[in-house]
Amino acid sequence: MPGAELVEPVPYAPWWPWVALGIVVAVVAWYVWVVRSTRARGQAAATGPETPSAPAAPSSRRDPYAALRGTAAARLDEVERRYRAGEVDARGANLEIRYALREFATGRTGVDTSAMTASAARGDRRTRRLASVLENSSVPTFAATSRTRLTRTLDQARRLVRTW
């Protein structure tokens, strides 16, 4: 284009910097909203398990884990009901007991126990009380046959929920 005349580039429209600023403000506002809406629940969950639990005997102080205990006890009752009705076998009932106790322990300690083994539970001081129940319920859960009675495991699980 030897004979063509050079033309200056077209400048940006004056409103583009305002659009960019609006996008930046919207992203910052979204981050602030996410942090504030999740921080209150996160702090309550983080401070909850560190506080000592109330004793099993009635006292003047309120048990901070009463709702969690009630949920776990109801799940254990449901497992027993389903086992007696023949809806689940001993292996399935033991699996459900382990699930309910792991969920209780996670809520109680703040440690993820969803896939914790008995030896791993014994190694962590916060979950040490869970280890014996996991050990006692592992044989009926994973063995081809077992003579362990489900009532023993249920009694041990209920005792753990009541006293921990």
Q: What is the pLDDT of residue 24?
A: 98
Q: How far apart are CA 121 and CA 73, in angstroms?
A: 21
Q: Which two tokens stand for residue 109?
A: 């300690």
In which residue are the tokens 């284009």 written?
A: 1
Q: What is the pLDDT of residue 117?
A: 85
Nearest alpha-carbon partner for 149 in 96, 93, 73, 103: 93
- Establish if 146 belongs to a structural domain: yes
Q: What is the pLDDT of residue 17?
A: 92
Q: Quick one: angle between helices 150-163 and 66-84, nearest 10?
A: 170
- Establish if 60 belongs to a structural domain: no
Q: What is the pLDDT of residue 26?
A: 98
Per DSSP, the residues of 48-75 read: TTTSPPPPSS--SSPPTTHHHHHHHHHH
- Establish if 54 belongs to a structural domain: no
* Residue ranges in the chain whose pLDDT is less than 50: 42, 44-60
Q: How far apart are CA 50 and CA 125, in angstroms?
A: 13
Q: What is the pLDDT of residue 77?
A: 93
In which residue are the tokens 């792991």 written?
A: 102
Q: What is the pLDDT of residue 132?
A: 85
Model confidence, pTM: 0.57
Q: What is the pLDDT of residue 146?
A: 63
- Establish if 87 belongs to a structural domain: yes
- Establish if 102 belongs to a structural domain: yes
Total domains in the chain come to 1
Residue 146 belongs to domain spanning: 66-163
Q: What is the pLDDT of residue 2?
A: 62
Q: What is the pLDDT of residue 121?
A: 87
- Establish if 158 belongs to a structural domain: yes
